[in-house]
Structure 1
């Protein structure tokens, strides 16, 4: 039996799927992923929460790169993988889609039962007063304060980042919270930061209700996603994964499909 036929059979036999997605879902929308086929970093790992909080220079560098990267990230649109998973939900085939991505492309494609495990990049939150504002508003403020950076071009990097390696960030002006003057941070979970407990518990509940797990486009190298596959294995639930390259959970998988996500799920469309 071919991998494609085996995947169709797996989805057909398990009508209450818990779907876990990662960066491989969004590469077809022009958003780069983090890891290579062996699960190793392709580039310098993302900024940690400790570095972001501990250094104004780090925050300048982060927001300068984000300002340039947002131009393409903010225009990204769902691809066939997102639409296929939305179709799967519409057919009644899922209990939940838990995504490690922060791009909201699953929702843009029509998925409704979604938990953004690592938050969302289109919202900015104040670390002092807790207030939020749209990322587009932050972008406008960044451009007003730093007009000389507006036309800079750079290579795309994961999650709205941009490769600006040779720049001097010391003069980059980061706006404070418009409500209290506090420090602004994208409403995403940085490395070194904990996922909010209520998100984890809601996902566990949906997993417990599911017949099986389908992983799409994730190497599962980070514990925040791997824990759900580990729980499924502990509960004896079948697990299928669509991913180019190895995953950290290969030994736990019932089925592994080594194809691009859009090709593997094309039958759902």
Structure 2
């Protein structure tokens, strides 16, 4: 399963076929199969939400697959199942200029399509829950800004956001869209064709395409630039972790949405909820690391089920 896209300069302006990756027909490509909705399970989740007064929701990649963004672990459709590619490691990115060049070349090609993705009914439902006072806090492992696009404000982006870029030396923050313009100025004749799309906006290019790509440095100090996200092998900021632990302890229930909770950066909050004896519900297609801790487990599409729940 591949989605092709091309990015090339044409008479001083950049053109792309990236919009093809956002067509309605592609949105289901990355969502694993799930059983039909069970009306009794829907009622159970409704009761869970009705009884919750300070609900904390933790979301993962399974929320965004219905917006056309692939995940890593979903059976049959995740990146691990479809390719032998693996996400970039923090240490490799920080220590190697060629690794950064390869990353940014691929990210440059993938960015127009990645940035164009829009919230799906699951994002809008959670935003509505917040607006109505049901959702106390939202913690997302996703880096796609779709919760923000849907209007969520009581939000912690646990692993950061691809829409921001940081300098590794001085910490200067830049909007990713601004950096795209700098890439275009440095590479006016560069073109590439890629296939596939990774969860963080990465695509797959040949080494020949990568070698001629020019990468800008920090406009403030000349240091190397990195997306404001937690790469694999890195750790989440301690202050952010402490903040989320506090939100969990203030909550009276926890709902996991679209996450297998395989990484410890999210699993530790489930353990905190268990220690506090909070009721835990999980909505995710397929098993999760925390199923044995949940009082309710649902295997359904997030965007299909969440809009059916009345948060009042």
Output the TM-score relative to the length of structure 1.
0.94
Residues 1:37 and 2:75 aligned together = yes
Q: Distance between the aligned counterparts of 1:201 and 1:188, measured in 2?
A: 18
2:70 aligned counterpart, secondary structure: coil
Residue 237 of structure 2, aligned match among 171, 192, 196: 196
Residue 57 of structure 2, aligned match among 19, 28, 34: 19
What are the superposed Cα offsets for residues 203-260 of structure 1, whole Å, 9 maximum, x if unpaired? 1111111111000011111100111111111221111011011111111111111001
Distance of aligned partners of 1:170 and 1:254 in 2 relative to their CA distance in 1, 3 Å threshold? same
Q: Distance between the aligned counterparts of 2:80 and 2:263, measured in 1?
A: 12
Q: Distance between the aligned counterparts of 1:166 and 1:241, measured in 2?
A: 42
Distance of aligned partners of 1:166 and 1:205 in 2 relative to their CA distance in 1, 3 Å threshold? same
Question: Unpaired segments of 5 or more residues in structure 2?
Answer: 1-38
Q: Which residue of 2 aligns with 1:178?
A: 219
Could you tell me whether the CA contact under 8 Å between 2:121 and 2:303 is conserved in 1? Answer: yes
Deviation at 1:168, TM superposition (A): 4.0
- What aligned pairs does 1:120-159 form with structure 2 within 5 A after superposition? 120-150=161-191, 152-159=193-200
Q: Which residue of 2 aligns with 1:208?
A: 249
Could you tell me whether the CA contact under 8 Å between 1:37 and 1:244 is conserved in 2? Answer: no
Question: Unpaired segments of 5 or more residues in structure 1?
Answer: none
Distance of aligned partners of 1:40 and 1:156 in 2 relative to their CA distance in 1, 3 Å threshold? closer
1:221 aligned counterpart, secondary structure: coil
Distance of aligned partners of 1:182 and 1:166 in 2 relative to their CA distance in 1, 3 Å threshold? closer
1:124 aligned counterpart, secondary structure: strand
Could you tell me whether the CA contact under 8 Å between 1:124 and 1:132 is conserved in 2? Answer: yes
2:235 aligned counterpart, secondary structure: coil
